[in-house]
Every structure is written in C-alpha cells, then in structure tokens.
Structure 1
C-alpha cells in the first residue's frame, strides 16, 4: 500500500498568505496611526507648555505692577530659520528688563510665502484695553495657521 504524503495544498498556502498579509498590513496601519497621534499630542502639549509659562509670567507681572506702555517688558519677535532644509518661522518672547529670551516656539504658517508671513516687526505682547485702565489684552500667536490666543488680565491695584 502506498501512503499519500500529507501537507498543505497550493490553494491553502495562498489563502494563508493572503490572511497573513492582511493582518500585517492592519498592524502596520495601526502602528502608523498611533505614531501620528503621538506626534500630534506632543506638538499640542509643547504649545500648551509654552502658553502656560508665558501666561503665568505675563499675568503675574500685570497683576502686581500693571504695564508701562512706554517701556514694554515682554516683546515677541519672529524670524525665519532653516530647520532640516525647510524654512520655519520661529517666534521668541523676551523679557526686556532682564534682557533674556523666555521661550521660543515654531509659528505654524502655510508654506506658500513663509518669509513674508513671518517677517513681522517686534511687538509687545501686552496692550491696554481701550476705555479700561485696569484691563490688558495679551496676544500670543501659537495656534494653528499663526492664529493668536488672546486672553485678558486685570491689574489688581487699579481694579481695587
């Protein structure tokens, strides 16, 4: 009696390969999605850290001593830098009293004409609100597409 050799047929192997390929592609897609999500969360958390740091410094200064418009303490300057062969707009908030930069962050701008969009003169972060001696407006261009986050701070002595 002849014994038949047992094994997988060509069709069974092809079906197993297709199923394995689908599983591997699904796992790869899951990995890429997770990696992109991690990058987005990291970018957002860096923006939040910068915003919280600057907001605390500026808020503390305004609440304690107000704001001298003739001698601004916090200045925002943006400039174009080459980062990994790409042009990027980097903004720096500086403390003029201590003559030191406080924080730098990339300003998210469209790639069309970044040098013209980024080329701004230095301006102060704090500006008084018209018709209100105690309230100040703070604008920080940290959002997507260079949009500013705006918040208001009151000088405590002027309010009381």
Structure 2
C-alpha cells in the first residue's frame, strides 16, 4: 500500500509567494501614485479657489473704481523658530485680510497689487499664487489681468445730427 500526501510542494509555495509579492508591490505602487496625484490635484484646486476668490473680489471693486481699497501686504507668521512670510490680499479700508495669495522667503517679496495702465480707465493687476519660496518644489504662478472702471469706460455719446 502506497501512501499519498496531499498538499503543495516547496516549489509550488515559492512560485505562489513570488506571484503574491509581485501583486502586492504593484498594488503598493498604485496606492503611492494615487496618493501623489491626489496631493497634486489638491494643491491645484487650492490655488484655483484662491485665484477665483481674489479675482472676483478685485474685479468687483475695480469696476466700481474701488481698486485702491485693496493692497497686497506681507504677513509674517511664526511658530517656534519657524517664520513664514505670506502675501495677503487685504482690504485697506477695513484693515482686514481677504485671502492668502502666496508664501515667500522674505517679507519684501510681495508685489504691488495694481498699476494704472496709463489710459485712466484700466488697472493692470498681478497676483502671486502658490508657494514661491526658493529651494522647495515651488508651484508659484503670477497671474496678470486688466480691470476697467465702468464709469470711466462708458462715456456719454454726443448726439449726432
């Protein structure tokens, strides 16, 4: 009488473990890629939210001729030995910050909010958005757009005879 053993051989177990390891490594790589993509999309969406809010606020004020009520100011924040410098869009009349625009290495890096375009009607606005520090994986953008004051842009037409 011959006895049979049922089960897996050592070679079969080693092949199964190798296949399982490849599958686990693939799933881990997929997880890391998904996580990095999520972080990138999150950064972009935060920049987009900031930009949309700042542009809509400034466009409304600029069209009314109140662009001078806003400025980009430096805001220094610290915790322990770590000091961070932010450029903040601020309502100067109310001395209230509106939105954080960008992070810089020093407080002198914040640009002027707007420059008159020379025609007396429009203002050229430049906003820094994102992380503008040197030595980091910077995602800094500078968005420039023009705002025209409605009252100055629309002049009454002279009647034609």
Question: CA contact under 8 A between 2:101 and 2:128: conserved in structure 1?
Answer: no
Bigger relative CO (Cα 8 Å, ≥ 6 apart):
1
Q: Structure 1, residues 96-127: CA drift from partner, whole Å, max 9, x if none?
A: 111111112443x6xxxx3xxx3316654122
What TM-score do you get using the length of structure 2 for normalisation?
0.79
What TM-score do you get using the length of structure 1 for normalisation?
0.79
Query: Which of 70, 74, 81 is the equivalent residue of 2:70?
Result: 74
Residue 40, structure 1, aligned to residue 35, structure 2: no
> 2: CA distance between counterparts of 1:137 and 1:18?
62
Residue 142, structure 1, aligned to residue 142, structure 2: no
Which structure 1 residue ranges, 5 or more long, are not aligned?
none
Displacement of 1:81 after TM fit? 4.2
CA shift in 2, pair 1:123/1:5, >3 Å: closer
Question: CA contact under 8 A between 2:122 and 2:147: conserved in structure 1?
Answer: yes
Over aligned residue pairs, what C-alpha RMSD do you find? 2.4
Higher Rg of the two aligned structures: 2
Alignment: residue pair count:
147
